[in-house]
Each structure stands twice: as C-alpha cells, then as structure tokens.
C-alpha cells in the first residue's frame, strides 16, 4: 500500500501558514488538526482557516476533527474542499450516517480512535470508511512521546481490514525513531508535526521519513 507523509500544521507557525505550507511541497497532504477545547483540552483553528488554506494550495487536505458533535460540523469541511475528513468514534453520535454523508460530498471518510479505544468492536463499520486514524499519543498537543502500546492496535487494525482498500494513519510522536515500527505494524499514512516542522529542512525530513517507511513496507512485501 502506498506510503504517505502528511505533516501536521499544528507544529507550523500559525502566523505564517502559507509560507510553511509552501516549505513542504513534497508532502502527500496537509494534516489539519481542528480542536474545540471540549473533546480535547486545546483550541486550534476551524472552518474559516481551512477555507483560507484551500484558497492558497492544491495540496490534499486531511482534516482531523478533535471536536464534540462532528455529526454537525464535519460535512462543512468536505464542502470546503477537504479531500479527507476524519472524525472521532468517541464523539460521533451516528458514525455510519456521518461517514456516508462525507463520502456523498466527495471526501474520504476517516474514523479516529484515541489510544484507549478498541478497534475490534468497529469491524462492522470498516466498509463505511476510507481510513482509520490511530492516535499514538493522547490527542490535544504536538510534541508528545509516542505510545508503544498502540503498536498492537495498528497490527489488529491491519488484520481486520484484510484486503479492503483502507488507509491506516498513525498520529502522534511519529519521527525517524518510531516510523519504522509503525510501518512494520501496518500503518501506511504518517502524520508528523514536530519531526517535520522542527527539522532544519522540513522537506528533506519528509523524504527521510518516507524512505524509512518505504524500506519497511518494501521488505514486508
């Protein structure tokens, strides 16, 4: 499965978003963390900023909603031109209906899971989504330490997916130190915030991360 590196703009300079987006031209998408200070203890940005980002880039927009009531808000992000919209299963009232609505609007539907949320009870939802996002830190902040305990969930998720065409995204603490273990476990989409924007050359770091993950996937066959 194709490897994708999607840097998290949470670690970009919010006063210079366009400049930082242009500095990561080799990214496979822009991961945009929407936080509402309810679902997570942090507040970031919302729909108006995503609409403005849409105007200045053709990049694949990968929206990660860490908000209460995604049933109400998620469709607007698809309407704003985001190619992928992920909502959390812990927050959604009707995940299947919401996933179908996102797909109807032309976006890929992603289902997010916090570290303590089990994947096994979600097997019946798999046919409704295009991506499973596995949080590998508690959601809310960049720069946290990768939680190794999430590796077995990545493996179980890949096993449950079987031959369906569903991406497995990992988010939190992904770096040159951890990306290979995530790829070995079965992830193919990698969110990296501080690793990319904290590097001297963010674009070169994307290439390094992609090479490391691809080497593992190549050997996995």
Ligand X SMILES: O=C(CO)[C@@H](O)[C@H](O)COP(=O)(O)O
* Residues forming the active site: 33, 171
Contacts 24+ apart (CB under 8 A), 48-53: 49/17, 50/77, 50/80, 50/82, 51/80, 53/17, 53/21
Asked if residue 131 lies in contact with residue 167, where contact means CB atoms within 8 angstroms, the answer is yes
Nearer to ligand X, 106 or 143 (CB): 143
Nearer to ligand X, 92 or 174 (CB): 174
Distance from C-alpha of 32 to C-alpha of 218, rounded to nearest angstrom: 28
Residue 31, annotated as binding a ligand: yes
Residue 214, annotated as binding a ligand: no
Residue 197, annotated as binding a ligand: no
Nearer to ligand X, 96 or 138 (CB): 138
> Beta-carbon neighbour count of residue 85 at 10 Å?
33
Stretch (H or E) spanning 66: strand 61-66
Residues in touch with ligand X (CB under 6 A)? 8, 10-11, 31, 33, 64, 137, 139-144, 171-174, 191-195
């Amino acid at each position: 499965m194709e490897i994708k590196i999607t840097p998290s703009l949470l670690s970009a300079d919010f006063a210079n978003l366009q400049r930082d987006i242009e500095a990561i031209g080799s990214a496979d998408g822009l991961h945009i963390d929407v936080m509402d200070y309810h679902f997570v203890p942090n507040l970031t940005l919302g729909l108006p900023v995503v609409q403005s980002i849409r105007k200045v880039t053709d990049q694949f927009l990968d929206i990660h909603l860490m908000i209460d009531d995604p049933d109400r808000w998620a469709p607007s992000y698809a309407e704003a031109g985001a190619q992928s919209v992920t909502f959390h299963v812990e927050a959604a009232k009707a995940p299947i209906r919401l996933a179908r609505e996102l797909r109807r609007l032309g976006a890929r539907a992603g289902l997010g899971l916090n570290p303590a949320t089990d994947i096994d009870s979600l097997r019946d939802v798999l046919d409704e989504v295009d991506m499973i996002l596995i949080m590998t830190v508690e959601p809310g902040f960049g720069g946290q330490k990768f939680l190794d305990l999430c590796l077995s969930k990545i493996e179980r998720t890949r096993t449950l997916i079987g031959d369906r065409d569903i991406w497995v995204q990992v988010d939190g603490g992904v770096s040159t130190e951890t990306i290979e273990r995530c790829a070995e476990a079965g992830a193919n989409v990698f969110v990296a915030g501080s690793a990319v924007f904290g590097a001297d050359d963010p674009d070169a770091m994307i290439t390094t991360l992609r090479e490391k993950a691809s080497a593992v996937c190549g050997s996995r066959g």
